[in-house]
Chain A
Amino acid sequence: MEEETKKRPVKILVCDDDPAFRKLVQTYLRSADMGFVLKEAGQKEEIQDALDKGGIDLVLMDILMPDKSGIEWLDEIVEKRIAPVVMLTGFGSEEIAVQSIREGAIDYIPKDHLTKDRLLSTIKITLETWKRKRAEEEKRRLMEELEETNQKLERSNRELQDFAYIASHDLREPMRKISAFGQLLQESLKGKLDEDEQENLAFMIDGANRMQQMIDALLTYSRVTTKAKPAKRVDLKEAIEDLKNVELAALLEETEGTIRIQKPLPAVQADPSQVHQLLQNVIANGLKFHRDGIPPEIAVRGRQEKDNQVRVEVEDNGVGIEEANYEKIFGMFQRLYSREGYKGSGIGLAVCKKIVERHGGTIGVNSTLGKGSMFWFTMPTITNDELRITNYELGGRMKRRNRLIIRN
């Protein structure tokens, strides 16, 4: 409180219709020499005036006031959160004193027990309680605000996802028409257009086709969240064998590439089709971006990390990536090379990032230009539900241990 008073004098409003009692309070406060500023009010109008002017830090309120009772004033002050209230009660009014506490008074002092010490200690405690209460209220308000903002964000995020999905879905059809009818024109006008006109038409169709691919890519990207499936145990080795035999078979043959699994790979808990997609995209990149004349060699290894995470590394001997582009490659439609050089939607790694982050992991790359890249990502080895159960059990054990400590 001393600190308080240094900053700004504490302004106390004494509401009592008895001038002698107000005088007594004034004497006590002045003799304390703590820089209290006292404002006295005996009439209804004076109290109202003082409250309206503001700047009051504490109210001492007599329960028995003419025109408007102390409890009525209390209700008003509490409701408007003006300042903490200490009630001044007469002889035998214990019951009403207790009622005033229920209605929000911080404390009360029986008038016949009023001493300087009692007054000063009550003021000190009341100011501290008020400060704490205000802080708690503020915290609660902030928490509520946070919760509300969270809900709003979640809602708008969901809307945005739905929008992306619907938009890309509905955009596909008109694009397909532009492309198809463009091609029809190309056929029917064959031989009738000069070179320049042919080129224009070809540009138009090519643009439509690319747009189509981008829309498909957007759809794939938004499906990571809109079409997510529950997590299951996924054997990474099996997943890679599947990819070798099916999805990546053509690319492996075309590039004469190889995929080596270096250590027994741990299993992860994740959406199985998303794990497939993730591995497929990362490995396909390694195969595609090989150096001229050097068949791609992909090495996959994994290790268990603490916190129920597994770290998977996919290393290639390809063209490599400059450090300045480490972040960029995980963005949407980011390409480091021309479309002619390397085919693809330009969205593969963005999808990977989204899949990994959706599962609470991280993804990144280390690379040496002209030597190769090492993509790594982390994935949970345990589902969120299991994690919650484990945490709960841990919490329970902690509590039991604490109890033991207390007993000792």
Chain B
Amino acid sequence: MEELRPATILLVEDDPGDQKLIKVSLKSQKIANELYIVGSGEEAMDFLYHRGKHSAETPLPDRILLDLKMPGMGGKEFLRRIKQDEKMKKIQVVILTSSDSEKDILDSYNLQASGYIKKPVELGDFKRVMKEIEAYWFIICKLPPKEE
């Protein structure tokens, strides 16, 4: 039987405060998945396609936590692009944003995001949200090989 492997996570978030909050909150929930952090849609593209300062062959992340409102390439555009790429489109993307506008929710759904979570105001809620995110298969379960 194969071992469970924790998913690797790519956080796409331009706000350093939120980067830290998410990191701290994940830790507080004892979620110790490997976390990569990039500050923009463009950098996330570089990360996935091993370009620029991300040219080192980092394996593709299993999950992406994606902010929507970022300068330059926003979250939606990033999402649209990776969902068009056969290799990338299987990566589950969870939107983590401060917007609760209907349009953003609907757009994200139509762009095949796996989930949509509004950043809570209360720190306690913020931490709890990380637990919800964990439900998105942060622990990858590989099926055991068939027994003879």
Contact = CB atoms under 8 A, between A and B. Distances in A.
Given A181-B17, A209-B121, A212-B121, A176 B98 contact: yes
Contacts of B98: 172-173, 176
B53 to A, nearest CB: 27
Contacts of B18: 177
Contacts of B17: 177, 180-181
B77 interface: no
Contacts, number: 29
A179 interface: yes
A180 B15 contact: no
B21 interface: yes
A343 to B, nearest CB: 15
B78 interface: no
Interface in B111-127: 119, 121-124, 126
Contact of A179 (B15, B24, B121): B121
A176 B24 contact: no
A173 B21 CA distance: 13
Contact of A184 (B15, B119, B121, B123): B123
Interface centre among B15, B18, B119, B121 (most CB of A within 10 A): B121
A183 interface: yes
Interface string A167-182: 0000011001101110
Contacts of B123: 179-180, 183-184, 187
Contacts of B119: 176
B15 A173 contact: yes
A187 B28 CA distance: 11
A180 B127 CA distance: 11
Contacts of A180: 17, 21, 121, 123, 126
A183 B21 CA distance: 11
Contacts of B15: 173, 177
Interface in B83-126: 98, 119, 121-124, 126
Interface centre among B24, B98, B123 (most CB of A within 10 A): B123
A324 to B, nearest CB: 36
Interface in B1-51: 15, 17-18, 21, 24
A209 B124 CA distance: 13
A180 B121 CA distance: 7
Nearest to B99: A169
A98 to B, nearest CB: 65
Interface centre among A172, A179, A180, A209 (most CB of B within 10 A): A180
A179 B15 CA distance: 15
Nearest to A183: B123
B131 to A, nearest CB: 17
Given A177-B15, A177-B18, A179-B121, 14 more contacts: A172-B98, A173-B15, A176-B98, A176-B121, A177-B17, A179-B122, A180-B21, A180-B123, A180-B126, A181-B21, A183-B123, A184-B123, A187-B123, A212-B121
29 contacts: A172-B98, A173-B15, A173-B98, A176-B98, A176-B119, A176-B121, A177-B15, A177-B17, A177-B18, A177-B21, A179-B121, A179-B122, A179-B123, A180-B17, A180-B21, A180-B121, A180-B123, A180-B126, A181-B17, A181-B21, A183-B122, A183-B123, A183-B124, A184-B21, A184-B24, A184-B123, A187-B123, A209-B121, A212-B121
Interface of A: 172-173, 176-177, 179-181, 183-184, 187, 209, 212
The 10 closest A-B pairs by CB, nearest first: A183-B123, A177-B17, A180-B123, A176-B121, A180-B21, A212-B121, A173-B98, A179-B121, A184-B123, A180-B126
